[in-house]
Structure 1
């Protein structure tokens, strides 16, 4: 494995890297190449509904494509934004969006999924997946910050649309 691919694996005394990415604007091939170059071994899909107009990014097809690249896939609905939160985000109501997302992540299911994800992140090679290319416009950044509050992590945003040689 290259030094670049080892980047997400924690060394002795180092914080593991938690990657995040969105597939907006990315081809499936570029998306997978970006994950492989970053040493990702498991994608955690944090969309409430793992559906996409782009069929290759729907849950089952994405799982198959990632398996072909020897990358695992998990979906956790409880880490996704409920419809009311997505509607608030589309309307530009960030405060309502944040309130709804916080309520979701603070639910019993949300807390359990965060604890599971934190344990997985400690192993290294984990990448949170959602749609938006810009992590500042996506709830996956909120999920990543929650995970970093549970366990020491370095958060790294991958730009799957730009490809494997670009990191934001």
Structure 2
């Protein structure tokens, strides 16, 4: 499936900001895929750069008419790509809440690691995609 075809269908997107110093690629994806909600899946919504702190991303999203939600319950305690949530029940509840939002439009799961294969968001997205039967697309 081509990117322009995916942009026309509902999907769950994932994005890791990595070492990016600005929001250019982030904004490009938000617009290209008509994202209605950014879901921050970091256990701690802080970063090496203040620009990627949750409160700054929330302001940026609001300025672009996009909802921002922090779901720390979907964070990862393993320190690696395998997802070990803080609390299984809270993570399950958060997945169901996000599933409801995913039914209404494209969402983007945000985390720090740029490479989705080295990030827990891939596993979170797969769980969510299975829950709502919506395809997942990992952006870099």
TM-score with structure 2 length normalisation?
Answer: 0.87
Unaligned runs of 5+ in 2: none
Q: Distance in 1 between matches of 2:119 and 2:100?
A: 22
TM-score by length of 1: 0.74
Where is the strand percentage greater, Structure 1 or Structure 2?
A: 2
**Contact 2:7–2:34 (8 Å) recurs in 1:** yes
**What's the RMSD between the two structures over aligned residues?**
2.2
Task: List per-residue Cα deviations over 1:101-129 (Å, max 9, x = no partner).
Answer: 1xx27711111001111111111220000
DSSP 3-state at the match of 1:44:
strand
**Structure 1 unaligned runs (5+)?**
11-15, 90-96, 160-168
Structure 1 pair 67–81 and aligned structure 2 pair: CA distance change class (3 A): same
Higher relative helix content: 1
Query: Does the aligned pair in 1 maintain the 2:73–2:87 contact within 8 Å?
Result: no
Are 2:24 and 1:29 equivalent residues in the alignment? yes
How far, CA to CA, are the matches of 1:105 and 1:49 in structure 2? 11
| 1:68-147 equivalence runs, <5 A | 68-82=63-77, 85-86=78-79, 89=80, 98=82, 101=84, 104=85, 107-147=88-128
Rg bigger for which structure?
Answer: 1
User: Is the 8 Å Cα contact of residues 19 and 156 (structure 1) preserved in structure 2?
Assistant: yes
